[in-house]
Structures are given as C-alpha cells and as structure tokens.
Amino acid sequence: MAEIEQPQLYLITPPELDLDVFPALLAQALDSTEIACVRLALATQDEDRICRAADALLEVTLARDVALVVSEHILLVEKLGLDGVHLGDGSRRVAKTRKMLGDDAIIGAHCGTSRHDGMSAGEAGADYVSFGPIGEAALGDGSRASHDLFQWWSEVIEVPVVAEGALDTSALNAFAPITDFFALGEEIWGTQAPLARLAEIAALIKQS
C-alpha cells in the first residue's frame, strides 16, 4: 500500500447534545474544515432522543455531502436514512451487520489495540477499522494502540484505518504519516473554542 498522503478528519459528536445549539456548530465546523464523516455517538440509549438528534444532524450533513453514521444502533440506519453504523466491539458483529444493511452502508469497527481483531473486521466486510486510544487516556486500562500497529497496517492492509482517542498534539504529529483518518471528539468539543481547535488540528496535519 502506498504511503498515506494526508489523513482526513472524522468528527465524533459529544455524548450529550443540545439540539438548539449543536447542529449550527456542526454546520460551521463542516463549512470551515473538510470533514469526511460524522459519527453520532450519544451516551443515551433512548431511541427517541437518538432519532431526534440524527434527524437534526442529517439536515446538516446531507446539505454538505458528508456521511453520517451512528454508534451501535444498526436498526436505525435504514429507518433514519443514515449512511452507516460504527460498531464498538471489534469484528464480532461486522458480517451480520453487512448482511443486514447491504453493500452500500458504511460499517466501521473499533478494534481497540488488537491487530488480529482489526484484520478479522476487515475480512468480515468493515469499510474501516479504528484503533485507539492513541495518546494517554484518562479512562480505560492504560493500553494504547501502538505506532507500530499503524505502521504495519498502512504498509500491509488496504482497509482504511482510523486513529481515535486521546489525540494530543504529539500523537497527531506522530500518526499523521500512517493513518487514513483522525477521529476527533472531545479533543475539539471539550475546548472553549471548538472551531479554532479544529482549524489548528487541520493545519497541524497538513504540516506533518
């Protein structure tokens, strides 16, 4: 596989959304910076709240031709007209989900730090595999997806790879040459000026 030229950006929503505010903020983010995909990743399991959020964000993403996927909720993809689903448990449900949603749906699989699980997800039909955290995360068991894993993946595997979790400046610099996407969530939404931070990260990646 050829060396990755420059990773694309992928946005993960905050776990809780104010629908009076966030859609406009997302629209500004998509207008200001080239974004490949948005993941709706709410903490709630309340289907009504997820559906209302998805409807609001779809208005924003459809108008800008940006893909919108939802975390975990496979059955909502067709119901809401979403582009696909992001599965958080590695390769376990990829084949079954592909069969349910068909060839056109985007199916992503988060595989933690496991090369084997990532390979299995790709073989089962995942459109992309994500690994992480990359940097030092406050949550979890302290394990990280290594630079060597991404280096190997970029050289050997053709399924696109996403770096996510604890993406600090040093991690962005180190992984930019060997990942296809950076997935940004709290790295921007958790700051005082999300749009400014997004612009900083986009500029940083271009320089890497």
- Give residue 72's pLDDT band: very low, low, confident or very high (50, 70, 90): very high
93 assigned to some structural domain:
yes
1 assigned to some structural domain:
no
Can you give the length of the chain in residues? 208
Residue among 142, 150, 139 at smallest CA distance from 176: 150
Mean pLDDT of 175-181: 96
3 assigned to some structural domain:
no
CB-CB neighbours of 129 under 10 Å: 27
Contact 125, 95 (CB under 8 A): yes
Residue-wise pLDDT for 39-68, tens only, equals 999 999 999 999 999 999 999 999 999 999
Pairing mode, strands 35-40 and 67-71: parallel
CB-CB neighbours of 148 under 10 Å: 10
85 assigned to some structural domain:
yes
Domain count, the chain: 1
- Give residue 206's pLDDT band: very low, low, confident or very high (50, 70, 90): confident
Residue 24 belongs to domain spanning: 8-207
Please state whether 37 falls in left (phi above 0), alpha (psi between -120 and 50) or beta.
beta
Residue-wise pLDDT for 2-45, tens only, equals 445 789 999 999 999 999 999 999 999 999 999 999 999 999 99
State both tokens at 205. 């990646």
2 assigned to some structural domain:
no
Residue-wise pLDDT for 108-151, tens only, equals 999 999 999 999 999 999 999 999 999 876 556 678 999 999 99
Mean pLDDT of 82-96: 97
**What CATH number should be reported for the domain holding residue 80?**
3.20.20.70
- Which parts of the chain are beta strand (E)? 8-12, 35-40, 67-71, 84-87, 106-110, 128-131, 161-164, 181-184
